């Protein structure tokens, strides 16, 4: 088999143009999210590809116009051999062509200077295409896998709609999952993210002409601007963020990665009113040894103490809403964290596959961003993030990926798929 894998690696080199054309085909499908609800045609392409390569497919709408596709290549002896999920998302970051200076059209992919340009090349249609091409070459050589291979092309990752969570709810599981998202070919875990809304609301409304009665001695009006009171909440969040930076840490993360970002603020009616309501949308990043409920409670407890120190906020305490299933539908999201076992079976097999191609083990690190890997890990599946592309290009104008990295990634996927799915499960 070693000779066959070497021959397959040679085929990846010889058929590089075919690999690039597969990436280009995916990039040409315009699937930015937002606005979303636009992946159906692209997912039909994936479904057809999987069907042509002996996968049983399962397609269902997560949202109208945004279906998940899961294909299963049934193994010859799945009861005794290890199974593998390969996971990636079809949606890409939003594009504003009128106000962004794209060298090439974002959905008109171009290969130039050793790179492939286009929206989604780095995040993460390059990873999807490389894994699909690996499957194609394995099957062309007549290779049959003893264990099951499950390919998941999901929707919604860019806006927290968690197509991957829906796969888990549908019962898909495996002995190992690899999310082929942007990692610059590092093997990665990640921290987690939860968004929340903090609302300050007055029980009454006031004409702006009564403001002097609120702010001067003897004015007689015990009222306040919700916008001004929200500034105290923001200061409190900054204090907590600084406290976390010196009291919390986690291996693989630089200090202070657990941030609290005041992302969006909304408040007031119009200039003739004292602002009676203000809402703040925050993003909280946390470490793999924490969960979203834990950090949300920490934020709430701290901000309630801040409110208790203010006479008006003490009587009109801030309200909290956490999480959500979509940044579009309900303006909220959750991404669970993902820890990885450096000495785990899956990590070792992926490191060996990487070393066979690069002559050295893949770096192990923690991603500074989040992926769907957290949902798979949360479902009890040992999960690793490993894909082509880097975060400097993800979401960027003139997004691109190294062609050489795409080629090498595809070789690693061939080795990983074959070796993992050909290994017998160990007795418990």
> 403 in a domain, yes or no?
yes
Domain that residue 312 falls in? 192-322
Q: Could you say which of 322, 348, 375 is where a domain stops?
A: 322
**Is 333 a domain residue?**
no
112 and 61 housed in the same domain: yes
Q: In the listed set 322, 356, 382, which residue is the last one of a domain according to the structure?
A: 322
Number of domains in the chain: 2
CATH number at residue 7: 3.40.630.10
Other Cβ atoms less than 10 A from the Cβ of 322: the count is 20
Residues 127 and 155 both lie in one domain = yes
Catalytic residue selected from 40, 47, 66, 91? 91
Per-residue pLDDT of the chain (428 residues; tens, 9 = 90+): 677 888 999 999 999 999 999 999 999 999 999 999 999 999 999 999 999 999 999 999 999 999 999 999 999 999 999 999 999 999 999 999 999 999 999 999 999 999 999 999 999 999 999 999 999 999 999 999 999 999 999 999 999 999 999 999 999 999 999 999 999 999 999 999 999 999 999 999 999 999 999 888 888 889 999 999 999 999 999 999 999 999 999 999 999 999 999 999 999 999 999 999 999 999 999 999 999 999 999 999 999 999 999 999 999 999 999 999 999 999 999 999 999 999 999 999 999 999 999 999 999 999 999 999 999 999 999 999 999 999 999 999 999 999 999 999 999 999 999 999 999 998 75
Instruction: For residue 3, give every residue at least 6 positions away whose Cβ sits within 8 Å of its Cβ, in sequence order, or none.
Output: none
Indicate whether 54 and 163 sit together in one domain: yes
Residues 186 and 212 in one domain: no
What CATH number is given to the structural domain containing 278? 3.30.70.360
Write out the two tokens for 403.
């062609």
Residue 141 shares a structural domain with residue 111? yes
Question: Beta-strand (E) ranges in 181-302?
Answer: 187-190, 192-201, 206-207, 260-267, 273-274, 277-286
Q: Looking at the structure, do residues 301 and 368 belong to the same domain, yes or no?
A: no
Tell me how far apart the terminal alpha carbons of the chain are, to the nearest angstrom. Answer: 28
Distance CA 91, CA 142 (A): 32
Q: Which of 40, 47, 148, 157 is catalytic?
A: 157
- The DSSP 8-state label assigned to residue 122 in this structure reads I
- 352 by Cβ neighbours in 10 Å (0-12 / 13-18 / 19+) ranks as middle
Q: Are residues 159 and 198 in the same domain?
A: no
Q: Are 190 and 385 in contact (CB under 8 A)?
A: yes
pTM of the model: 0.95
Residue 332 lies in a domain: no
Is 157 noted as a catalytic residue in this protein? Answer: yes
């Amino acid at each position: 088999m070693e000779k066959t894998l070497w021959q397959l690696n040679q085929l990846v080199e010889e058929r590089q143009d075919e690999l690039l054309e597969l990436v280009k085909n995916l990039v040409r499908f315009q699937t930015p999210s937002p606005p979303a609800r636009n992946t159906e045609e692209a997912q039909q392409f994936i479904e057809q590809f999987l069907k042509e390569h002996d996968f049983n497919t399962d397609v269902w709408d997560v949202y109208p116009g945004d279906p998940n596709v899961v294909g299963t290549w049934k193994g010859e002896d799945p009861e005794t051999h290890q199974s593998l999920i390969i996971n990636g998302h079809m949606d890409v970051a939003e594009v504003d062509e009128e106000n962004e200076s794209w060298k090439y059209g974002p959905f008109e992919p171009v290969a130039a200077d050793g790179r492939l340009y286009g929206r989604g090349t780095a995040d993460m249609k390059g990873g999807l295409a490389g894994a699909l091409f690996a499957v194609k070459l394995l099957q062309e050589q007549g290779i049959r896998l003893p264990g099951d291979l499950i390919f998941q092309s999901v929707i919604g990752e860019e806006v927290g709609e968690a197509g991957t969570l829906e796969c888990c709810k549908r019962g898909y599981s495996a002995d190992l999952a690899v999310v082929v998202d942007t990692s610059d070919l590092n093997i990665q875990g990640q921290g987690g993210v939860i968004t929340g809304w903090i609302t300050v609301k007055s029980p009454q409304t006031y004409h702006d002409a009564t403001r002097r009665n609120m702010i001067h001695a003897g004015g007689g009006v015990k009222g306040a601007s919700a916008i001004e009171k929200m500034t105290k909440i923001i200061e409190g969040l900054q204090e907590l963020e600084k406290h976390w930076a010196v009291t919390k840490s986690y291996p693989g993360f630089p200090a202070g990665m657990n941030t609290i970002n005041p992302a969006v603020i909304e408040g007031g009616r119009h200039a003739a009113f004292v602002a009676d309501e203000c809402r703040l949308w925050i993003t909280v990043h946390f470490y793999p040894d924490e969960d979203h409920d834990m950090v949300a409670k920490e934020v709430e407890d701290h901000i309630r103490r801040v409110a208790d120190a203010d006479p008006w906020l003490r009587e009109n305490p801030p309200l909290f809403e956490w999480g959500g299933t979509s940044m579009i539908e309900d303006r909220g999201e959750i991404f669970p964290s993902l820890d990885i076992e450096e000495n785990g079976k899956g990590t070792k097999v992926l490191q060996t596959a990487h070393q066979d191609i690069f002559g050295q083990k893949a770096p192990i690190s923690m991603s500074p961003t989040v992926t769907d890997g957290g949902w798979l890990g949360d479902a009890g599946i040992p999960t690793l993030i490993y894909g082509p592309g880097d975060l400097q290009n993800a979401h960027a104008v003139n997004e691109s990926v190294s062609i050489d990295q795409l080629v090498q990634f595809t070789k690693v996927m061939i080795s990983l798929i074959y070796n993992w799915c050909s290994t017998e499960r160990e007795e418990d």
